[in-house]
Amino acid sequence: MRLQDKVAIVTGAASGIGRSTAILFAREGARLVLNDIDTQGLEALMPQIAGSGARTVAGNVADEGIARRLAEESISAFGRVDILVNNAGIHFARDITEMTVEEWDRLMDVNLKSMFLCCKHVIPHMLRQNKGTIVNLASISSFVGQEMDGASTFAYNVTKAGALQLTKSIATRYASDGIRVNCVCPGNVETNILKRGTPAEVAEFWRQASRTEPIGRNAQPAEIANAILFLASDESSFVTGAPLIVDGGYLAR
């Protein structure tokens, strides 16, 4: 019960890393406010976290109104907010010469603007409590250039580098106020974020991806959730401004 009676907001909670994080946090005693644009996915999650008294706020957290409602729902339902997990995000691969302005704006909104907005509306409550923890989802893409199927993931990488710098900048600004801010940087994680192809094609993609990992396999969402739990809990009480790399040795080569 490492999060006993703590109140946690998790964005992108309907699937993948966010879903695993919500289930783990509930098991560890947290009271939850969960967000996703996938309303049906949120509803399907609820039986997995029965008894946690979880609340949901559906919608795109790149919309300031939704980000504000998340913070307000936490205060209204539970009286505080102790943990914010900025997990919502999408993947994208396209060369810079082919990417449209609309595609760029959408990616920046979902992956980075949403983090800014959630932090903007949660931090004032954490300041009043003189305590809080924020965990942002960055990536190995925060550190390196990458390609996929012959196209660059440069724009996605920019959002994840931004998540890393947002983490460091907020961490140093609010450390003396009792707010810790860290990020998790996963490698290949077998989620549905790529939304590509037939089941056989998806399976083949992940088989190929596993070959880039020195450990010889891809991560499962629950393994990333465990890293998020460490940073969200008091076990990491002297850790702030840090990227926790969970990549099977990818960046160590």
Residues noted as catalytic: 156
Angle (CA) 144-35-236 rounded to 5° is 60
Residue (of 124, 119, 127, 144) closest to 247 by Cα position? 144
Tokens found for residue 205: 């993609």
Q: What are phi and psi of 42, to 5 degrees?
A: -65, -40
Contacts of 5 (CB under 8 A, 6+ apart): 29, 31
Helix, strand or coil, per DSSP, at residue 162: helix
